[in-house]
Structure 1
Amino acid sequence: MNNSLTSKAILVTGGASGLGAAVVMALHKAGARPYVLDRQAPADGVPWIECDLADTRAAEQATRHLTEQAGELDGVVTAAGIDTPGRLGDVPAETWERVVTVDLLATAAVIRAALPALERSHGTVVTVASTLGVKAVSDATAYCAAKFGVVGFTRALAAELAGSVGVTLLIPGGMRTAFFDGRDEQYRPGTDAILNDPANVADAVLFALSQPAGCAVRELVVCAEQESSYP
């Protein structure tokens, strides 16, 4: 049987929208205590700190502040993610680097800051990669670089923290969220695209977070049955 998440404190990056918001909602339903790092406010009543994850030092500081506010920390879910698709020569360098910073470097920064608390609680980390972290496509060099990096980072972290902190790599496919809003039409899913419900992916996150002591779910691929970017 899985451990109960009741009253456990879980930090969620990007918890105001998309997958992060779905995870926060699922945690609430499970009786957990979600805490959020985001640039926008999450659902009413959820403790949060406004933070631009492109500033990794600020992300570390905000993580420590939320941990102090929670009094403990039982889990971290790095759900924040951005993308600006386009050919390498067409995407401004600062935009390209921001994608890599938010999606990869901030993932490491938040986990680094949370580690002392997670080691005390023997907690769990769930990192969010992508099917584009295992399959590369054109016009996505920044996103693929970042998500391939999350895959490698998480696998190395699992080896490093084995026995002290649970580590799960989540590889989701496309979801019905605002992630694709604001893109050029060529980079948006078509009207016939089959995308997964983020609530389904959030349930997988809770499954990983609720494993009993001594058991870790190392990797999860969760996508619509007809996902085109996996395998």
Structure 2
Amino acid sequence: MNDTFPRPGRVLVTGGASGLGAAVVHAVRTAGGQPIVLDRDPVPGDGVLSFAVDVSDRVAVGAAVLEAADALDGLDAVVTAAGIDRCGRLDEVEAAEWERVIMVNLLGTVNVVRAALPHLRQTHGRVVTVASSLGLKAVSDATAYCASKFGVIGFTRALAAETRGQIGVTTLIPAGMRTRFFDDRDEKYRPKDDSKLNDPARVAAAVTFALAQPTGCEVRELVITHEEDDSWP
């Protein structure tokens, strides 16, 4: 990477077919980088290398990351935007569904970072994990989501400590965004006023800001919310 005006380079984006992930893919391309999408339902075409993979499947993730790195002769960054939610009180959400949130949001993040780490060390690359304002502030009816996102923050802080000087590590902590993330929720769990949700393009701009830091400079955490969002602090 150019240390004066670094471009994003080869950026692996999980959940890159929709929502924040798609916004990050667009932002990386606009900034002159080359995004690679990992998603259960990747959008074909458009000149973006894509892999159909469930991030909770550690073996499949490892194979996809290796194939991507081989195809592009390396990786410069990873952005872990894949995420799901299952709303409801602990005794109301099926155990398998509750555990699925942990598997995708937390273990999926770990799986991708673990697989990409050897390639990122070679390029002194960057990891941007996507947590949530609900990784800082716990709320009712969201035990699975809060547990997963609190876990992402803890994982990323520990990762930064153990890879200091080898790769860059940033935790992105966004509040609600205007995406399809809320579409399959019961009405009572949907935002009442989407004007207080952030544009995912704004959040993606924060990602490219982190990716653009020169070697030796670290943005460790970024909290980004709509100015009227009340989920933080």
Alignment match, 1:19: 20
Structure 1 residues 185-204: aligned runs within 5 Å? 185-191=187-193, 193-204=195-206
- Quote the residue 1:31 is aligned against: 32
Aligned residues of 1:37 and 1:50 also touching (Cα < 8 A): yes
**Contact 1:2-1:210 within 8 A present in 2 as well:** no
Q: Which 10-residue stretch deviates more, 54-63 or 207-216? A: 54-63
| In structure 2, C-alpha distance between the alignment counterparts of 1:207 and 1:59, rounded to whole Å | 26
Distance in structure 2 (CA, Å) of the matches to 1:17 and 1:145: 23
Distance 1:2 1:101, change over 3 A: farther
In 2: Cα distance, 1:35 partner to 1:51 partner: 12
User: Secondary structure of 1:213's partner?
Assistant: coil
Per-residue CA deviation, residues 148-200 of structure 1 (Å, 9 max, x unaligned), is 00000000000011100000000000000000001100000013650000000
2:56–2:111: 8 Å Cα contact kept in structure 1? no
CA contact (8 A) 1:130 1:172 kept: yes
1:113-192 matched pairs, under 5 angstroms: 113-191=115-193
How high is the TM-score relative to the length of structure 2?
0.95
Preserved CA contact (<8 Å) 1:63 1:114: yes
Query: Which consecutive segments of 4 or more residues in structure 1 shift more than 4 A?
Result: none
SS at match of 1:168: strand
The answer to whether the 8 A contact 2:5-2:214 is kept is yes
How many Å separate the matches in 2 of 1:193 and 1:99? 27
Per the alignment, in what secondary structure is the counterpart of residue 49 of structure 1? strand
1:67 Cα shift? 1.4
The alignment yields a C-alpha RMSD, in angstroms, of: 1.3
Q: How does 1:54-73 map to 2 (within 5 A)?
A: 54-73=56-75
Query: For residues 104-129 of structure 1, what are the alpha-carbon distances to aligned partners after superposition, in whole Å with 9 as ceiling and x for unaligned?
Result: 00101100110111000000000000
CA distance in 2, matches of 1:71, 1:32: 14
Selected match of 1:87 from 76, 86, 89: 89
Matches of 2:195 and 2:104, distance apart in 1 = 26
1:52-92: CA deviation from partner (whole Å, max 9, x where unpaired) = 12222212221121111121100000000000111111111
In structure 1, give the amino acid aligned to 2:114: R
Offset at 1:101? 0.6
Q: For the Cα contact (< 8 Å) 2:101–2:148, is it kept in 1?
A: yes
Is 1:219 the counterpart of 2:232? The answer is no
- The number of equivalent residue pairs is 230
1:2 Cα deviation (Å)? 5.5
In the alignment, is the contact (CA less than 8 A) between 1:154 and 1:167 conserved in 2?
Answer: yes
